[in-house]
Structures are given as structure tokens and as C-alpha cells.
Amino acid sequence: MHIDNEIKLDFKDVLIRPKRSTLSSRSKVDLVRPFKFLHSKIEYSGVPIIAANMDTTGTFEMAHALGKHDLSVALHKYYAAEDYVEFFKKLKVKSNAFYSLGIGSSDLKKFEEVMEKAPGAIQYVCIDVANGYTETFVSFVSSFRKKFPDLVIMAGNVVTGDMTEELILAGADIVKVGIGPGSVCTTRKMTGVGYPQLSATIECADAAHGLGGLICADGGCTRPGDIAKAFGAGADFVMLGGMFAGHEESGGEVIQKDGKKLRAFYGMSSKSAMDKYAGGVARYRAAEGKTVYLEDRGSVEGTVQDILGGVRSACTYVGAKRLKELTKRTTFVRVTQQLNEIFGKS
């Protein structure tokens, strides 16, 4: 038995230390990043924030709303093939939407059908499994890369440098990082498995960048400051579920309770999701996600402004003119307290 005694950190354990800067206004900060992907060689230019491929955030409506600000959406995988065909045929900026799939044969079949009916329309793909450590997953990524050399492949999830490298070598352009940090995830509770997200981001980014690959920090951001910390830690992309949930553009059942409008938000491995898509929780497994009801947050527009404003301001505090410079200019300080909550937790 081995214990790694080095302390691993989460967003809540650190703050970003301010630095001297010549920047006079946050409006001068450029959040658009250019990338050229390692395998597909495609050139990307956008704000590298992605709504999660959950059916309550990865919707067509969300893609339209976030696309206006150059952000992206990883679509959930439960639309009908013809709906994807229609959506992708009309999509102008390809990086606004990732097509998501798991590694099951029905997911692949649906993807190939959409590719056939909308040739050239999809450029960005997210191959997503809860546990990216299996050989089956790595060989799926590798054969997918052989079949589709020109697509941008994001694949995950993993939380360690060794597996990040393995996925990049197998053909991933972007490795998705995060096991257990999600707002509606119960993996850590049910399995005891996980890795603090800030450290996972730092370690996986280091491994990926060494090979010319990129990472997407997925899960655990609860406020704009956490997104700034994820970028500061080396994330090239950041994926958000909970922060984009509960809006008009999110999917999810709407209910009225005590005169309030609430929207359901649940993990993709929760009982709610499995009841909806898999005819219930299979006997051999336990649900690893939960369901919450969020007060309606209106249009996602306001949330996008908050997020972009927060990240821009973080850049100004450390003197980063461009998002690209944020990592270089970030020094984290370990803290025992984040916020003064004397007047409440919001």
C-alpha cells in the first residue's frame, strides 16, 4: 500500500496573488485564444469555455446563446440523429459545438450516420466516459483517430499525467480532466475515488503541454474565480456544468414550488438520467450523480457576462493582457479561508 503524502489542492484551497501590472482597464483583456491542435491541425480561435455535455446544459439553445460570445457547448448525446444533422448543417463557427459520444456501438453508429448525412459539418468531437483509465477507452480513442484524422478530439476523463500522455499519444487533441469534482457528482462519496481538481489540472496540463497537447479542466468550478484559477493552473479549456444550469437555455424539467420556478439539474450517472435514458439503474451499478432543483436563473446571458467579467478582472490583477498569459503570471497562495461570509454565503 502506498500513500502519496504530498498535499493535493482544490480551488477552495488557493487564491491568485495579485501582481504589478501596466494594464489600465479590464476591457483591454483579450479572452479569445488561438490554438492549433496537435493531431487534427485545425486552428481554433475562441473563448475556451465549454458548457458540459449534460442534457441539462449541453443543448442546442445553449450553443446558440454561448456562440454569440465565442464560447462552446459540448452537446449532450441524446438528440436524434436528424436533429444533429439539421443543427450542424447550420452551424457557422464549427468550434461552437462539440458532438459528444461514449464508446458504445450505438453512439458510434449514430455519429457515423450524422457524419454521412452532414459531411464536413462536424469538426469538434468529445469522447466522454466517466472513467478514462480503461484499455477499451484508449483503444477506442486510437481507432477513432485513425478513422477521423481531421477531427478535433477531446477525450476523457482522467486526472493524472501518465494517462493524459497516453490519451494524447492515442490521438486526443484535448484531454478532459476531472474525476469527482462535479456539482452533481457523487463518485467520491460512492467509490472513494477522485483527485483534487486544482492539482489534477496543474499536473495534467504539464503532461499534455510537454507533448504539444491541451487539456480541458472539467468540473468543480462554482464561481467565476474558480474558472480564473483553472486557467491560472494551466487549463487550456474549462468545462462548466452547474454554472450553466438552471437557465432558460438549459434543458431539464421545470416545476413550481412555494411560488418559485425551479429547474431540475442532475448528474448524467444519476438515477434521474438513468431512468430517462437507460430504463433505470442497472442492478450491478450504483448511481454516481444526484438531482437538484435550481431556482430559475433566467437567460444565460447574465451568467456569461459575470463569467467573462470575472476572468477578465483576474487577468487585470496579475497583469495578463491576454488569457494566454494568465498561467505564466499566476502564483497561487494557499489559504485557510476564501470568503468573508458574515452576511451569508452568496
Contact footprint for ligand 5GP (CB under 6 A): 52, 54, 130, 157, 178, 182-185, 187, 218-221, 239-243, 267-270, 288-289
Say whether 270 sits in a helix, a strand or coil.
strand
State the nearest-atom distance from the C-beta of 78 to ligand 5GP, in Å.
Answer: 13
Is residue 178 within 8 A of residue 219, CB to CB? The reply is yes
User: Can you tell me the distance from the alpha carbon of 237 to that of 230, in angstroms, rounded to the nearest whole number?
Assistant: 9
Distance of CA 177 to the CA centre of its chain: 8
Is residue 18 within 8 A of residue 29, CB to CB? The reply is no
Q: Torsion over CA of 166, 190, 54 and 49, rounded to 10 degrees?
A: -60
State the nearest-atom distance from the C-beta of 197 to ligand 5GP, in Å.
Answer: 9
- Residues with Cβ < 8 Å from 178, sequence gap 6 or more? 156, 157, 159, 197, 200, 217, 218, 219, 220, 239
State the nearest-atom distance from the C-beta of 118 to ligand 5GP, in Å.
Answer: 25
Task: Name which of 50 and 122 has its Cβ closer to ligand 5GP.
Answer: 50
Q: Which residues does residue 127 pair with via DSSP β-bridges, in sequence order?
A: 101, 155
* Residue written as grid cell 467565476: 224
Task: Name which of 115 and 127 has its Cβ closer to ligand 5GP.
Answer: 127
State the nearest-atom distance from the C-beta of 250 to ligand 5GP, in Å.
Answer: 12
Q: Which residues are catalytic?
A: 185, 187
Task: Name which of 37 and 265 has its Cβ closer to ligand 5GP.
Answer: 265
Task: Name which of 158 and 240 has its Cβ closer to ligand 5GP.
Answer: 240
State the nearest-atom distance from the C-beta of 56 to ligand 5GP, in Å.
Answer: 9
State the nearest-atom distance from the C-beta of 334 to ligand 5GP, in Å.
Answer: 22
Task: Name which of 64 and 271 has its Cβ closer to ligand 5GP.
Answer: 271
- Residues with Cβ < 8 Å from 105, sequence gap 6 or more? none
Please give the helix or strand (H or E) that residue 266 lies within, else none. strand 260-266
Please give the helix or strand (H or E) that residue 81 lies within, else none. helix 81-90
Task: Name which of 100 and 316 has its Cβ closer to ligand 5GP.
Answer: 100
Task: Name which of 78 and 317 has its Cβ closer to ligand 5GP.
Answer: 78
Is residue 311 within 8 A of residue 323, CB to CB? The reply is yes
Please give the helix or strand (H or E) that residue 278 lies within, else none. helix 271-278
State the nearest-atom distance from the C-beta of 243 to ligand 5GP, in Å.
Answer: 6
Burial class (CB in 10 A: 0-12, 13-18, 19+), 126: buried
User: Can you tell me the distance from the alpha carbon of 98 to that of 50, in angstroms, rounded to the nearest whole number?
Assistant: 9
Q: How many CB atoms lie within 10 A of CB 337?
A: 8
Q: Which residues does residue 256 pair with via DSSP β-bridges, in sequence order?
A: 261
